Structure 1
Amino acid sequence: MSELVRALVVKPDISKPRWDQSTFEGRAKHFVTITNPMNLFATDSQLETSKTVIENFRKGVVSDTLTVNDLWNAKHLFDSAYHPTSGDKMFIIGRMSAQVPMNMAITGGMLTFYKSPAAVIFWQWLNQSFNAVVNYTNRSGESGSTTQLLTSYCAATGGALTAALGLNALVRTMPPLIGRLVPFVAVCVANSINIPLMRRSELTDGIAIVDAEGNEVGKSKKVAKSAITQVVISRVGMAAPTFGLIPVIMNVLEKKPWMKAKPGLAAPIQVFLAGAILLVSTPVGCALFPQMTPIKVEDLEPELRDKIRSMPKPPEIVYCNKGL
């Protein structure tokens, strides 16, 4: 049975995730709660209750019956639905908990209808439109301006369509399995365009560098490149198992007599497989790298390194929020 919060001498620190983020296991547990599709079924009343619990706790107001588990459950539900900066309730399909159900439908569509140019255009456009909604919903500050969102959306959509349509033409005479891998290449191209464009201000001005207490000590262009690269790898890592495994599975299934007799089963099977794989690959992909990435001061640009070392009690390790 979970302890009562009021009875604790040291109260939980809900400004940080519940689990140790320096370990892969701790990060994976954290992102399982953040991306849990069941959060989408929470009613407005449940969301408001979680918000009240968290806001009261931050003010030092704790119910006599509030347990540690209740507090963390409220925090996870609160984080899943409310913007961390503005505090506004986020558009439902833009929330991280909508990643699995939305991506399973879109991925299933891209893998099923990958031959027709019209279908390729529709599904790649839909995928980038969903990504734009997610980016807009989770926007924060200058790096999430409407202009940047529109630019990255158009560029990513164009890149994905060019890759998908061009590769489809090249692999037309190749084995079906090769053709099924085309959507994955298109998604990789889109991510490689979309994310750097969305965060180009960090590449030109630098990403915020903070100390262990969260105080900003400067900005680094060098670290920005590394952080954005990690996010691209994470996004590709989330998509790789679905786009890599499902084509192999379907290539085997389509040779079976029962599948030849009922080819219409291909779409629901691929959607189901995508959902099952994404339930694991989404939190795992998010957890590949620490959210707050540690950086040795000696590895920073000379001017920033010298600035930090001139501070009273200068830190040897600083951090950046790499993003998602």
Structure 2
Amino acid sequence: MADNIEETPPCKSCKLSVDLEKPRWDQSTFGGRLKHFYAITDMRKLFVPDSQLDHAKNLVLAYRAGKCIGDTTEEQLWNAKHLYDSAFHPDSGEKMNLFGRMTFQVPGGMAITGLLLQFYKTPAQVALMQWFNQSFNAVVNYTNRNAASETSTKQMMFAYATATTTALGVALGLNIYSRKAPPVVARWVPFVAVASANAVNIPLSRQTELLNGVTITDAEGNVMGKSKKCAQKGISQVVFSRILMAAPGMVCLPIMMESLIKRKWFRSRTWLHLPFQVTGLGVFLIFMVPAACAVFPQQASMKVGDLELDVRKSIEEKHGNLINTVYFNKGL
């Protein structure tokens, strides 16, 4: 078993002193978070075989247990940690669904968003593309939820249905309005629909966190309880990041398309339109996926004084004024 660290022999020559409980780069700065998220959202990690992912997990768990495997170097250890972070959930440690991993955001996002931008003119096209997109979003939201808060299948299906309905309503409604507007406005309708659906889908997909709170800890990782306010903060940050992730490509490419479509050579070669948009979106997403994830720290924080009254009192009764800030996983 890849997880059986008890059978891993101690590495007598290992002199590494690496704190794997923290990212490699300073997470208090945007630059440090950008490097971190680029390392764990790099789409090349999608092609790493399960055996190598399991070995990376084994190496990380072994090192955390005070052991290491062979003559492991610091660089190898960090590479293993980034592989581990890219494929295994930070709360549960379980291997994540391939299509829900953030490493799939570039290839998955460029394909689906390219279809959204290409097929937007008829109600049938809008309905099919929005359904397709929300199905993908539902998988991503479920995969990257705060795993400490269980969400039932019924709740997930309700979130999925509501988000799809919202996206369809917004897209179809704006399509009617955009007929009298400049052509580029119609091309922006998919982005407005996607943004609106994200604002509905993510909170509903993670409604258990809003109802029951997310697990909060002190700086050492000791559990302090659960907080609904922290859930609200984390989810609002994720909504903003997801919209920001899609915005540059879905706003800029329609402008580029409207400019190119005026040129006869491009307009006549309709077979070029979809590949051009998909490729363009891929270029945007390669940067925007890690950048949008890096806007806020993964381990979000909140001052104890800003917590709910009952949670604040519970912490103060047990720890006095020793705990000033609590931390929680905001999800992705």
TM-score (norm 1): 0.92
Residue 7 of structure 2 corresponds to which residue in structure 1?
none
CA distance in 2, matches of 1:127, 1:194: 12
Residue 301 of structure 1 corresponds to which residue in structure 2?
308
Matching of residues 118-157 of structure 1 within 5 Å:
118-139=124-145, 140-157=147-164
Residue 160 of structure 1 corresponds to which residue in structure 2?
167
CA distance in 1, matches of 2:60, 2:300: 26
Residue 43 of structure 2 corresponds to which residue in structure 1?
37
Partner SS for 1:120: helix
Residue 260 of structure 2 corresponds to which residue in structure 1?
253
Letter in 1 for 2:268: A
- Shift in Å at residue 62 of structure 1? 1.9
CA distance in 1, matches of 2:142, 2:234: 20
Are 1:318 and 2:326 an aligned pair? yes
CA contact (8 A) 1:308 1:314 kept: no
Which consecutive unaligned segments of at least 5 residues does structure 2 have?
1-10
Tell me: CA distance 1:197–1:143, structure 2 relative to 1, closer, same or farther (3 Å): farther
* 1:289 maps to which of 278, 289, 296: 296
Partner SS for 2:165: helix
CA contact (8 A) 2:113 2:281 kept: yes
CA distance in 1, matches of 2:161, 2:308: 33
CA distance in 2, matches of 1:138, 1:300: 24
CA contact (8 A) 1:5 1:67 kept: no
CA distance in 1, matches of 2:12, 2:136: 40
CA distance in 1, matches of 2:122, 2:214: 42
- Shift in Å at residue 117 of structure 1? 1.2
- Shift in Å at residue 6 of structure 1? 4.6
Are 1:74 and 2:77 an aligned pair? no
Tell me: CA distance 1:41–1:323, structure 2 relative to 1, closer, same or farther (3 Å): same
Tell me: CA distance 1:313–1:97, structure 2 relative to 1, closer, same or farther (3 Å): same
Render the CA deviation track for 1:109-129: whole Å, top value 9, x for unaligned: 000111121111111111111
* 2:104 maps to which of 75, 94, 98: 98
**Which segment is superposed worse, 141-150 or 242-251?**
141-150
Letter in 1 for 2:296: F
**Which segment is superposed worse, 182-191 or 219-228?**
219-228
Which consecutive unaligned segments of at least 5 residues does structure 1 have?
none
CA distance in 1, matches of 2:51, 2:310: 51
- Shift in Å at residue 219 of structure 1? 2.6
Q: Aligned residues: percent identity?
A: 50
- Shift in Å at residue 86 of structure 1? 4.5
* 1:117 maps to which of 78, 98, 123: 123
CA contact (8 A) 1:125 1:157 kept: yes
Runs of 4+ in 1 over 4 A off after TM superposition: 4-7
Letter in 1 for 2:63: F
- Shift in Å at residue 283 of structure 1? 0.8
Letter in 2 for 1:124: Q
- Shift in Å at residue 153 of structure 1? 0.7
CA distance in 1, matches of 2:328, 2:181: 45
CA distance in 1, matches of 2:22, 2:247: 29
TM-score (norm 2): 0.90
- Shift in Å at residue 130 of structure 1? 0.9
